[in-house]
Amino acid sequence: MVGVIKYGAGNIYSVSSAIKFLGEKFVLVENPEIIDRVDFLILPGVGSFDSGIENLEKTGILEKLKYRLELGIPFLGICLGLQLLFNVSEEGKKEGFGILKGEVVKFKNEEIKIPHMGWNKVEILKDNKIFEGIVNNSFFYFAHSYYIKTQEDIIVGKTKYGIDFPSVIIKDNIVGVQFHPEKSGKMGLLFIKNFLEGKWLQ
């Protein structure tokens, strides 16, 4: 059973429908109790940094989520769902999960449009089962104004937009993507399928 965390207002329907489309079962996680019953967790990207943390705190999900992360539950953070894993973000004042080392910063290049909106390439930096069947430099859909800066060794995919930024990270049981796999057509569905198959964990 896949738990899709509902923690803010926005389109989490598409993440759920992608899981359903892949033939897997899911449940919406709206309170901490349900977290005990799921085998995979997905934190979709909706809203902003502070409102995201606030909602996770208010519902009591945050504490339970951190606990299950420590115990090693396979986790996929999408867009803001990746950014929340860090301690600080230029988008907000609140403290994030602090699970990953680094920070969340805003695109500052004068030459580019912000948000980074549309299809862009992901360059695979490290061979990993999460990319099984996915050709290097495949297109994925992005919609964000902030990106992560983190330690080199966890970055497995990067994307160029004015600068190079990490678009896929893997650390132990955690996968994080800056793009929206649920909105990236066939390749995106394949990415989610690979995540749920869990071969990347071994």
Partner 1 sequence: MVTVRIIPCLDVKDGKVVKGIHFEDIRVAGDPVENASFYSKEGADELVFLDISATIEGRKTMIDAVRKVADVVFIPFTVGGGISSLNDIEILLSNGADKISINTAAVKNPDLIKEGAKKFGSQCIVVAIDAKKTERETWEVYIESGKKPTGIDVLDWAKKVEDFGAGEILLTSIDRDGTQDGYDIDLTRIVSENVKIPVIASGGAGKLEHLYEAVVKGKASAVLIASLLHFRILTIPQIKKYLREKGVNVRI
| Residues assigned a catalytic role | 79, 180, 182
Residue 29 neighbours by CB distance under 10 Å: 24
Tell me: does residue 165 bind partner 1 (CB under 8 A): no
Tell me: does residue 139 bind partner 1 (CB under 8 A): yes
Quote the least distance from Cβ 6 to partner 1, whole Å.
Answer: 9
Tell me: does residue 10 bind partner 1 (CB under 8 A): yes
Residue 127 tokens read as: 């061979």
Tell me: does residue 44 bind partner 1 (CB under 8 A): no
Tell me: does residue 149 bind partner 1 (CB under 8 A): no
Q: What is the 3-state secondary structure (H, E, C) of 112-175?
A: CCCCEEEEEEEEECCCCHHHCCCCCCEEEEEEECEEEEECHHHEEEEEEECEEEEEEEEECCEE
Sheet containing 102-106, strands listed edge to edge, beginning at the edge strand earlier in sequence: 88-89, 102-106, 146-150
Pick the closer one to partner 1 by CB: 121 or 129. 121
Give the span between the Cα atoms of 169 and 150, in whole angstroms. Answer: 9
Give the span between the Cα atoms of 129 and 69, in whole angstroms. Answer: 20
Give the span between the Cα atoms of 142 and 152, in whole angstroms. Answer: 21
Pick the closer one to partner 1 by CB: 54 or 197. 54
Residue from 34, 125, 189, 201 touching partner 1 (CB under 8 A): that is: 189
Tell me: does residue 58 bind partner 1 (CB under 8 A): no
Residue from 103, 183, 198, 201 touching partner 1 (CB under 8 A): that is: 183
* Size of site (CB under 8 A) for partner 1: 39
Residue from 24, 27, 32, 51 touching partner 1 (CB under 8 A): that is: 51
Which residue, among 31, 94, 95, 26, has the nearest Cα to 64 in the 3D structure? 31
Footprint of partner 1 on this chain (CB under 8 A)? Answer: 9-14, 17-18, 20-21, 46-48, 51, 80, 113-120, 139, 141-145, 160-161, 180, 182-186, 188-189
